């Protein structure tokens, strides 16, 4: 059995200070990413390796994209979630500069609610039953069809989001 990354005693927990961030940045710029278990001591940090790794990956990497998600990113997240479910690292892999944790948090705090407000079940990506229009048969004297134009157009909107236009995923998995 593997021993813990640190003894959990005598290590800082909680919010990172600017000085700690700078030590981590300076160390990684000089030595690169490597053994996260040894990094804290070598960098002069009183943190565990896991904490250093997560801080770097989720907040400090220079290639991270900051700021609000664009409408195109939101649309892509919704479409990819319809195809992949909660596989956040695969979804984030299609959004340069975004981390899996950031995408997951954005989904749970914004996009889920946005879909629900539109009457869409965020898990199944279909209109919720309470929103589905129950069509009443109406005979149109002009065309002889069973549904009026308004009822037909409401019925046509009952398509899953996954049937929206093509998304080129080019997904691949690798075993490291």
CATH architecture of 18-60: Orthogonal Bundle (1.10)
Cβ(16)–Cβ(23) under 8 Å?
Answer: no
The model's pTM: 0.63
Span(s) in the chain for CATH 1.10.10.60: 71-124
pLDDT tens by residue, 42-99: 999 999 999 999 999 999 999 999 899 999 999 999 999 999 999 999 999 999 999 9
Q: Give the long-range contacts of residues 1-7, CB within 8 A, separation 24 or more.
A: 5/36, 5/37, 5/48, 5/49, 5/50, 6/40, 6/48, 6/49, 6/50
Is pLDDT larger for residue 157 or for residue 96?
96
What superfamily in CATH does domain 71-124 come from? Homeodomain-like (1.10.10.60)
């Amino acid at each position: 059995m593997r021993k813990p990354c640190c003894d959990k005693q005598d290590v800082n927990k909680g919010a990172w200070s600017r000085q700690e961030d700078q030590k981590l940045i300076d160390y990684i710029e000089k030595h690169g990413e490597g053994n996260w278990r040894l990094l804290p001591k070598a960098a002069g940090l009183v943190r565990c390796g896991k904490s250093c790794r997560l801080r770097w990956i989720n907040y400090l990497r220079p290639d991270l994209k900051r700021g609000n998600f664009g409408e195109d990113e939101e649309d892509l997240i919704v479409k990819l979630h319809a195809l992949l479910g909660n596989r956040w690292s695969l979804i984030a892999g299609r959004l340069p500069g975004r981390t899996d944790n950031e995408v997951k948090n954005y989904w749970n705090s914004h996009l889920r609610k946005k879909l629900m407000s539109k009457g869409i079940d965020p898990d199944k990506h279909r209109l919720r039953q309470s929103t589905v229009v129950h069509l009443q048969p109406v005979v149109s004297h002009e065309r002889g069809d069973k549904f009026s134009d308004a009822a037909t157009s409401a019925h046509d909107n009952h398509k899953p989001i996954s049937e929206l236009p093509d998304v080129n995923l080019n997904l691949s998995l690798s075993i490291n």
